[in-house]
Amino acid sequence: MAQTGRLILPASKPFGVPLRPVTTLRILIIAAVLVGWEALAASGLLYRDVVPSLLAIVRALVATLRDPAFYFHLGTTAYEIGIAMLIGGLSGLAVGIALGGSKFLSRAYEAYLYYLGPCPKIIFFPIMIMWFGVGPGSKIAMGAISCFFPVALNAAGGMREIDKVLIRVGRSFRASTWQMVSKIYLPAMRHPVINGVRLGLGVALIGTLLAETKLSNRGIGFLVIQAYSIFNMPQMYALLIILFVISIGANSLIGRIGRLDSIKRN
């Protein structure tokens, strides 16, 4: 139970455990899942195709990736999310900075953001359709209002966490408001903002995709619900796999940007 007293461990043994067992365990887990899956698929225990064979899924995956129409839909969704992030992110940032910078404003309005934040935004979709039509507009709106809240709340919190002395330095050099924002506030709070953007991307993705499943004739969400409606399960699994890979990749990319930044600083 007592420590062994080692101060630093060699890189081949992080946490004192050799690297190879971790990789082995991972491979074992993946293998077990795949084998179990195939067994379930072949057994016919569940309703046909609820668990399709791995081969069918892989075939659907390849077919989808080869299909030019898929990229059209992918592009549509990406475009919608991109614009949504721009609108929601920038307005969230602006509101967050305003609220974080003023105790008065924060006390007046931040509670609304705080309690509206956890509300499921998809319920606003009928309103969005009415205001922006059944095309990409309503999907972008869904993504934008989803992503607004985490960005705004994180920005407000980030503003308050800025070391007060940095603000005094800026004021002592008589920086204009815009200079304060761009040269002091934003750099000082880049970590909370990056986290907010990460969260915002996550919820914007959800908002936009769900809107596409509900009422659309384009986009990945539409493809998923289409596959469901014709009970093409391998296709649905393939689409979900692609979707998850992309979203996890995007999320870790943003995370890496955040971490790279702190490494550069140290």
Partner 1 sequence: MAAVVGPLQHIDVNRKPATTGPILAVDNLVKRFETPDGVLTAVDHVSLGVAPGEFLGVIGPSGCGKSTLFNVIGGLLDGYEGTVQVAGERMHGPHPSIGMIFQEESTFPWRNVLDNVAFPLEIAGMGKSERYERARHFVKLVGLDGFERRYPAELSGGMRQRVSMARTLAAQPKILLMDEPFASLDEQTRLLLGDKVLQIQQELKQTTLLITHNITEAVQLSDRVVVMTYRPGKVKRIVDIALPRPRSSEIVSSEAFGRYVAQIWADLREEASRGLQEQESEKLRGAEGR
Partner 2 sequence: MTAVALARTRFAPAALGLFSFVVLIALVELLIRIGLINRFIVPMPSDIIAAFPRVVVEEHVLQRFLLTASEAFSASILVTIFGVAGGVLLHRYRLLRLATETWVAAVAAAPLVLMYPLYLVIFGRSALTIVMMGFTAGLAPIVLKTLEGLSGTRRVLINVGRSFSLTASQQFWKILFPAALPTIFVGLRLGLIFSLINIVGVEFLINFGGLGQLINELAERYDLPGTYAAICFVILVSICVFIIMERLERWLRPAD
Q: Give the interface with partner 2 as residue ranges (CB under 8 A).
A: 1-2, 14-15, 17, 21-22, 25-26, 29, 46-47, 50, 103-109, 111-112, 115-116, 118-127, 130-131, 198, 202, 205-206, 209-210, 213-214, 221, 224-225, 227-228, 231, 233, 236-237, 240, 243-244, 247-248, 251-252
**Closer residue to partner 1 (CB): 7 or 69:** 7
Residues 169-208 within binding reach of partner 1 (CB under 8 A): none
**Closer residue to partner 1 (CB): 3 or 177:** 3
Rule CB under 8 A: is residue 2 a binding residue for partner 1? yes
Q: How far apart are the first and last CA of the chain?
A: 34
Among partner 1, partner 2, none, partner that 178 touches (CB below 5 to 8 angstroms by kind) = none
Which of 90, 92, 47, 73 has the alpha carbon at shortest distance from 136? 73
Instruction: Determine contact, residues 240/247, Cβ cutoff 8 Å.
Output: no
Instruction: Determine contact, residues 224/236, Cβ cutoff 8 Å.
Output: yes
Instruction: Determine contact, residues 203/61, Cβ cutoff 8 Å.
Output: no
**Closer residue to partner 1 (CB): 15 or 104:** 15
Instruction: Determine contact, residues 224/241, Cβ cutoff 8 Å.
Output: no
Q: From CA 224, how far away is CA 213, in angstroms rounded?
A: 7
Among partner 2, partner 1, none, partner that 8 touches (CB below 5 to 8 angstroms by kind) = partner 1
Residues 6-25 within binding reach of partner 1 (CB under 8 A): 6-8
Which of 240, 151, 154, 152 has the alpha carbon at shortest distance from 201? 151
Q: Using the rule CB under 8 A, give the single segment among 4-12, 111-119, 201-209, 240-248 that binds partner 1.
A: 4-12
Token pair in block for residue 189:
């709070």
Which of 207, 197, 164, 172 has the alpha carbon at shortest distance from 96? 197
Among partner 1, partner 2, none, partner that 104 touches (CB below 5 to 8 angstroms by kind) = partner 2
Among partner 1, partner 2, none, partner that 18 touches (CB below 5 to 8 angstroms by kind) = none
Residue listed under structure tokens 């408001």: 177
Q: From CA 52, how far away is CA 235, in angstroms rounded?
A: 10
Among partner 1, partner 2, none, partner that 7 touches (CB below 5 to 8 angstroms by kind) = partner 1
Binding site for partner 1 (CB under 8 A): 1-8
